[in-house]
Amino acid sequence: VKQRHDESLLPVATSLTMTGQNTEGWYPPGHGDIYASFYNSGLLDQLIAQGKEYIFVSNIDNLGATVDLHILHHLVSQPNGKRCEFVMEVTDKTRADVKGGTLIQYEGKLRLLEIAQVPKAHVDEFKSVSKFKIFNTNNLWISLAAIKRLQEQKAMDMEIIVNPKTLDGGQNVVQLETAVGAAIKCFDNALGINVPRSRFLPVKTTSDLLLVMSNLYSLEAGSLTMSPKREFPTTPHVKLGSSFTKVQEYLTRFESIPDMLELDHLTVSGDVTFGKNVSLKGTVIIIANHGDRIDIPAGSMLENKIVSGNLRILDH
């Protein structure tokens, strides 16, 4: 799909090639594209021929999205005419999730409402945790036969999200996108299921990665579960600075991942490294100013501490 100019609404790409000046003229059209791609590729028919009934779809960065046998059992135990064709897993909103899409009842159907569809005057209302208590995890269970029916009838109707962007050269464009969950209104007996927060564990940044690599989580049968040794079921708030943004650099800054079982909040800024077997508890803030470096010594235990200044530890 081509990007379009704001002014003329013409495509940016002048031909179907993906090289030269056209390189910037293409963009991924949002995950709503899955239905057409699935159908057109022949994979949908292939799975139906194998006797498969449902597909489980989730965001690639959601490490909490595993096949839940309770949900699967609910799907297959319904009588034939009452079969649920679409399940959206939702979970309770926290302050970190105020931008997440939510489910609304509209004209007798469940619909997904995304922040991009909300008029500016109502955005605060949309973000309200008391008015919209849940958000879409994008863990979806969808009937294969229903996808086939809707694709053949050309009845897969998803709202178009208009996403304004600026190209590297400063040119304003719009990207037209669709979201996979927006099709919920097309399916029969669609359902939202409120699931535990543990089924929504996205890893988008190295701050998220630090949490899942730490002893806060263990891997059992392919599922990440929070350690029973942690007293509070909430995850610590971790903010790693720009020196940790790239995974390669992040990995070189930790000789081993610190013990974080009793951590509430960690902020790290500047040129900071961690020695082996460091333990972090409560609120820990480590700030190395420009030109300074802080090496947290191996075996350190930091509890409710602010660390600043300059500390170099070099091999002798």
Residues annotated as part of the active site? 204
String of DSSP letters for 193-255: EE--GGG--B--SHHHHHHHHSTTEEEETTEEEE-TT-SSSSPPEEEE-GGGSSHHHHHHTBS
